[in-house]
Structure formats: C-alpha cells, structure tokens
Amino acid sequence: MTIRRLSFFLVLLGLLTVGLLGLGRKQMMTESPAVPSSAPVSAAPVNQAPDRTDALLTLVNAAHPLPDHWQPDLTVVENGHQVDRRCAAALEAMLADCRAAGLSPVVCSSYRSPEKQAALYNNLVEKLCRRGSSPAQAAQDAAGEVAVPGTSEHQLGLAVDIVDASYQLLDHDQAHTAVQQWLLEHCWEYGFILRYPTDKQAVTGIIYEPWHYRYVGRDHAKAIQAAGLCLEEYLR
C-alpha cells in the first residue's frame, strides 16, 4: 500500500507540474506574442528635426555658399590629403576597415582651397567652350559637375572623393567597383554619407557621384541612411 500511495502521489505531482508549465507558456504567449524572424523591418523615420546649429550639418550648395566665417581645422591624413580634424579619425578607420576586407580604396580628392576650386571650375568651363558651348551655357553645365567656387563641399574639409585602386575614373561605373559597394553599405557606420545619390540630382543640383562622401557624424549618418534621404531633404 505504501508503494502504491507513493506511486499515486508521484503521478499526481507530475500532472500538476505539466499543467503549471502549460499555463505559464500560454500566459507568456499572450503577453509577448512572437515575431517571425523573417518579418520585414521598415526604415526608421526621422521623428524630429536635426539640430541645424550642428556645424557637421553645414549645408553648402549653389543656394547656400560656404559661410564667411568657416575656417576648417585641417590635418593631414594619407598621401598628403587634408581634411577637417573632426572627420580625420573616422575617415582613417573607414579606410582601414575597407582594406581589412581585402579592398583597395584610394582618396583622390579632399580639402580644396578657394584657389584650387576656382581652377577646377574654370578649367571645365573652358573645356566646354572649346567643345562649342557658349560661355553662359558652359558656366551653367560646368556647375552641375564641379561646384562654383564658394559652393563646394570640398572647401568645408568634411568631404572626400574615394575611388577603387583598380578603377580610378570618376564616372558612373565607379559605383560597380568593390570599394564603392563596400562603402555604400558601411560608410554611415563611420559618420559618412554618399552625398550625391543617383536619384537626388533634382534636389542636390549635382550629378550622381558614387565617389563623393561627406562627414556628418555617426548619428546623423545613421538617420539619413535609414530614411533614404540626401542632406538637403534631411535638413528640411
């Protein structure tokens, strides 16, 4: 009898334990419904306006010339290129990690003095004139490829042009290189954005440049990347 009673109590205890576990699982499912791992994640909207007083967001384009007071704190990075000190460490880290991935990024343009920007712009105007454009038309067309002096991000010291060592032409095919594919995926992690995306020319006024990266800081870059915006749209 003692053995039978012990067996009965053990069976009863097992049933009670199973019941309690089942009730616990049901309650957990009710309070915290599971989300399939394959559920799509939508881009995060920009919920509040960015701080326009942040110097890293300084907008420079045809309608917003370089501020008169702007004085970049320049430092040398690689191959004699200069950038504003605020983006130097992030740029070096991005290039190092890109190389660690087996790729070969090359900085081909960085800070430009007013004189250098003027020379680049004027040279393109003259080139277009030699091809038959009127001076006025040449000046207008040149502005879509090389910013008018005083309206170039390169004068901020926060912008760099990066190309793949295996293909160093500044054209649309640059976007298909391994370096640009890596940068497009990872640049925001270091505070950079692709400044002139393929579908934003009507907003930026500049042709698609898959080599031109602008430093805005990691938080801003993350928000811009998530929302699929260009800098002009982000600042509105």
Distance from C-alpha of 210 to C-alpha of 221, rounded to nearest angstrom: 16
Rounded CA-CA distance 236/218 in Å is 19
From 92, 209, 232, 233, active-site residue: 209
Buried b (16+ CB within 10 A) or exposed e, 38-50: eeeeeeeebeeeb
Structural contact between residues 86 and 218, judged by C-beta atoms closer than 8 angstroms: no
What is the rounded distance in angstroms from the CA atom of residue 173 to the CA atom of residue 164? Answer: 11
Q: Note if 209 is an active site residue.
A: yes
Rounded Cα distance, 180 and 83, in Å: 20
End-to-end CA distance of the chain: 84
Residue 92 · residue 65 · CB < 8 Å: no
Residue numbers annotated as active site: 209
